[in-house]
């Protein structure tokens, strides 16, 4: 299907990845096909502890409609989730629970830190609050804001889609990834 | 007839003598100080006396006064409420700065359980005879008592703030 035909219709299609096209065949890398499929069907696991969670509810609902990005299926079990969205202040007492949730997710898994608290502790520069979730789990995308607007959360999800599309299928086998997880003591 | 503060004062003085001192009314609330070794007796008397009838323990909390003399560096504050006459009182027990210990109030009020755990959690005040004196709000691994003034309020692990611009002391980096 050529680009001019897509514009004529209202149906949104994912862009065709780079590849060789001929009569009756199209060839491309497995990585890009898998990446395309993954990026457009990221199942979110909302870990909402405060006001950023309220913004995410708006993001989920019809007005901002995260379903447009293939993420309408909220997964409240970490086992069937791809994208952990941490929204809100994480107290130090909660840090091991967050970590356990992350460990229970199966590969491939990605993390978005939504809002100032999840990214850096935010205004809570205090003994009881974790100063950013990247102290306990690796983070792929940070969304700033206190709280961020739904547009910003969607922008964060789109940034994550870019990462997912351009990542190797075998990401978890790469030495960099293993080293990253080892630095968090996650095996 | 409402319970007069003079009646409370007279009864306590008659019963406990100089263990109960410093009677004063602050913002319409009758307050006094109790020697820490008589706390349990005074609280039981306030609760069970047929005229005083302070049947409800509203609050237990701690205070740290690091600048006080050594035997008065901690205080435990008790608020009690008489539901029959709708009268509230408050009393403080001062404790030693090195070894803050006081009897538990759970023998009189079971509701003191969590309040004393919280006070222990934040100030390290030991309540003797408490059924389960362990941390309640902070994480179990915490070694400091964060509301004591010698501990910094901020978390030292923070990397996005430049200490010079936020008035931090440097030793909080080792948390």
pLDDT digits (tens, 9 = 90+) for A28-87: 988 889 999 999 999 999 999 989 999 999 999 999 999 988 898 898 899 999 999 999
Residue B103 forms part of a structural domain? yes
How much of chain A, in percent, has pLDDT values that exceed 90? 55
Chain A residues in contact with B144 by the CB 8 A cut-off are: 127
Residue B95: domain span: 5-150
pLDDT at A17: 83
pLDDT-derived band at B174 (thresholds 50, 70, 90) equals very low
B69 in any annotated domain: yes
Give the pLDDT confidence score for residue A187 in this predicted structure: 75
Residue B146's contacts (CB-CB under 8 Å, 6 or more residues apart) are: A127, A128, B122, B138, B153
Name the residue of chain B whose CA is nearest to A92's CA: B139
ipTM of the complex: 0.73
How many A/B residue pairs have CB atoms within 8 Å?
37
CB contact under 8 A, A131 and B159: yes
| Residue B174 counted as domain residue | no
Q: How far is CA B87 from CA B2, B22, B77, B106, in A?
A: 8, 19, 17, 22
Helices (H), A9-87: 30-39, 51-60
* CATH code at position A82: 3.40.50.12280
More confident residue, A125 or B171: A125
As for how many domains chain A has, the answer is: 1
pLDDT of the residue at B111: 92
Please report whether residue A6 resides in a domain.
no
- Which residue from B138, B158, B161 is facing A128, i.e. has the nearest CB? B138
B144 vs A127: CB contact, 8 Å cut-off?
yes
Q: Which two tokens stand for residue B151?
A: 């501990």
Q: Phi first, then psi: what are they for A169, rounded to 5°?
A: -60, -35
C-beta of residue B101 within 8 angstroms of C-beta of residue B95: yes
Structural domain range at position A81:
16-183
Q: A4 lies in a domain?
A: no
Minimal CA separation from A118 to chain B, in Å:
13
Please indicate whether, in this complex, the C-beta atoms of B153 and A126 are within 8 angstroms of each other.
Answer: yes
- A28 assigned to some structural domain: yes
Burial of B32 (0-12, 13-18, 19+ CB in 10 A): buried
Residue A114 lies in a domain: yes
pLDDT at B175: 42
Please state the rounded mean pLDDT for residues A133-143.
Answer: 93
Q: Confirm whether B109 is domain-assigned.
A: yes
Q: Identify whether the C-beta of residue A105 lies closer than 8 Å to the C-beta of residue A84.
A: yes
Q: Are strands A110-114 and A83-87 parallel, antiparallel or unpaired?
A: parallel
Mean pLDDT score, A105-133: 90
Band of pLDDT at residue A11, cut at 50, 70 and 90: confident
The minimal CB distance from B138 to the residues A93, A131, A135 is found for: A93
- Residue B47: inside a domain, yes or no? yes
Is residue A5 situated within a structural domain? no
In a domain, B14, yes or no: yes
Angle, CA A154 vertex, CA A171 and CA A101 arms, to 5°? 50
pLDDT at B43: 93
- Written as six digits, the tokens of A182 are 């080892």
B173 within a domain of the structure (yes/no): no
The DSSP result for B55-106, as a single string, is: -EEEEEEEEE-TTS-GGGSEEEEEEEEETTTTEEEEEEEEE-SSS-EEE-ST
How many domains are contained in chain B? 1
Span of A7-11, A47-51, A82-86, A166-170 with lowest mean pLDDT: A7-11
Q: What is the mean pLDDT of residues A155-161?
A: 94
Which chain A residue lies closest to B135 (C-alpha atoms)? A93
Q: Which residues of B fall within a CB distance of 8 Å from A120?
A: 158, 160
| Predicted TM-score of the model (pTM) | 0.81
First to last CA, chain B: 56
Is B120 part of any domain? yes
pLDDT digit string, tens, across residues B91-111: 999 999 889 999 999 999 999
Does A165 reside within a domain? yes
A8 within a domain of the structure (yes/no): no
Residue A30 lies in a domain: yes
Q: At what angle do helices A51-60 and A150-165 cross, to 10 degrees?
A: 70
Neighboring chain B residues of A95 at a CB cutoff of 8 Å: 139
Entry field: residues in chain A: 187
Lowest mean pLDDT across A124-133, A137-146, B100-109: A124-133
- The CATH number assigned to the domain holding B130 equals 3.30.460.80
Residue in A with minimal Cα distance to B163: A125
Helix B5-16 × helix B39-48 angle, to 10°: 130
Residue-level pLDDT at A94: 92
Whether residue B116 contacts residue B129, with contact meaning beta carbons closer than 8 Å, is answered with: no
């Amino acid at each position: 299907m050529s680009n001019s035909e897509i514009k004529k219709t209202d149906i949104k299609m994912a862009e065709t990845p780079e590849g060789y096209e001929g009569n009756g065949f199209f060839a491309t890398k497995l990585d890009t096909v898998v990446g395309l499929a993954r990026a457009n069907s990221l199942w979110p696991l909302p870990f909402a502890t405060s006001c950023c969670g309220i913004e995410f509810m708006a993001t989920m609902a019809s007005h901002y409609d995260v379903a447009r990005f293939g993420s309408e299926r909220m997964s409240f079990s970490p086992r069937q989730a791809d994208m952990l969205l941490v929204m809100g202040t994480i107290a130090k007492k909660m840090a091991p629970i967050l970590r356990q949730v992350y460990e229970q997710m199966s590969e491939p898994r990605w993390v978005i830190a939504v809002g100032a608290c999840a990214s850096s502790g935010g205004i809570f520069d205090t003994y009881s609050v974790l100063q950013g979730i990247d102290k306990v789990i690796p983070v792929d995308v940070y969304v700033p804001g206190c709280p961020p607007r739904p547009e910003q959360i969607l922008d964060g999800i789109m940034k994550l889609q870019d990462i997912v599309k351009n990542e190797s299928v075998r990401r978890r086998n790469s030495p960099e990834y293993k080293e990253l997880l080892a630095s968090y003591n996650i095996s | 007839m409402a319970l007069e503060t003079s009646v409370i004062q007279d009864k306590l003085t008659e019963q406990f003598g100089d263990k109960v001192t410093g009677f004063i009314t602050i913002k319409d609330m009758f307050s006094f100080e109790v020697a820490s070794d008589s706390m349990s007796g005074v609280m039981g008397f306030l609760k069970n006396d047929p005229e005083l009838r302070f049947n409800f323990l509203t609050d237990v909390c701690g205070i740290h006064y690091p600048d006080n003399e050594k035997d008065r560096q901690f205080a435990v504050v008790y608020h009690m409420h008489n539901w029959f006459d709708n009268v509230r009182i408050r009393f403080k027990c001062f404790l030693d700065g090195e070894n803050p210990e006081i009897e538990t109030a759970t023998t009189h009020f079971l509701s003191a359980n969590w309040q004393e755990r919280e006070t222990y959690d934040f100030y390290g005040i030991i309540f003797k005879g408490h059924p389960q004196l362990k941390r309640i709000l902070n994480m179990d691994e915490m070694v400091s008592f964060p509301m004591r003034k010698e501990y910094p309020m901020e978390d030292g692990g923070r990397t996005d703030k430049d200490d010079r611009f936020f008035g931090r002391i440097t030793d909080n980096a080792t948390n």
